[in-house]
């Protein structure tokens, strides 16, 4: 009986992964669109590229493994909440490209220091792990990062090309 349940669940997971792969791609070219802000809605698991008030493109994302609530210390597996800047990029990170998020702010550092903990700080928008060779859409099945915001590699290429260093990023519930 237990074996049947395990096989049924495995089949359903695989079926779900195949269904996700067949969803219409949201990775059409951005063309010459200019992005001046990035918005991440944690509850909806989306990252939006914005120009003025218009959504230029939207991506489904995976977040930190404990995404509810704002990041407050290193190792809590939460994705930060607040307004930051995408301040640098790494084309050779352990994930397929990464854009650094300027977390923590000076206030977040001070609050962590007061509690006697490190606020952490290696928070990025990035693609999949370089060692990953499975279906890219499986990225969206669960929250798996240590607090970062993950997209597929193809989506990371688009974001990488559309978002210059210095672009504000707002992350909210």
Tell me how crowded residue 142 is: count the other CB atoms within 10 A of its CB.
9
**pTM to 2 decimals?**
0.82
Domains in the chain, start-ordered, CATH in brackets? 33-172 (2.40.440.10)
- Token pair listed for 51: 């120009």
- Token pair listed for 135: 């279906």
Task: Write out the chain's pLDDT in tens, 173 residues.
Answer: 444 333 344 333 333 443 333 343 343 457 667 899 999 999 999 999 999 989 999 999 999 999 889 999 999 999 999 999 999 999 999 999 999 999 999 999 999 999 999 999 999 999 999 999 888 888 889 999 999 999 999 999 999 999 999 999 999 99
Beta bridge partners of 37: 50
Three-state DSSP class for 100?
Answer: strand
């Amino acid at each position: 009986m237990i074996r049947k349940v395990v096989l049924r669940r495995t089949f359903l997971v695989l079926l779900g992964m195949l269904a996700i792969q067949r969803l219409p791609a949201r990775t059409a070219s951005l063309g010459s669109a200019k992005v001046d802000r990035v918005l991440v809605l944690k509850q909806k698991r989306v990252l939006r590229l914005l120009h003025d008030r218009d959504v230029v493109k939207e991506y489904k994302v995976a977040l930190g493994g404990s995404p509810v609530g704002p990041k407050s210390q290193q190792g809590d597996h939460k994705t930060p909440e607040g307004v930051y800047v995408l301040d640098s990029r790494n084309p050779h990170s352990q994930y397929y490209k990464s854009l650094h998020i300027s977390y923590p702010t000076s206030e977040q550092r001070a609050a962590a220091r007061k509690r006697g903990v490190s606020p952490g700080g290696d928070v990025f928008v990035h693609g999949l792990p370089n060692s990953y060779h499975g279906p890219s859409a499986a990225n969206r099945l669960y929250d798996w990062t240590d607090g970062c915001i993950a997209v597929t590699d193809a989506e990371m290429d688009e974001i990488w090309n559309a978002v210059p260093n210095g672009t504000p990023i707002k992350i909210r519930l």
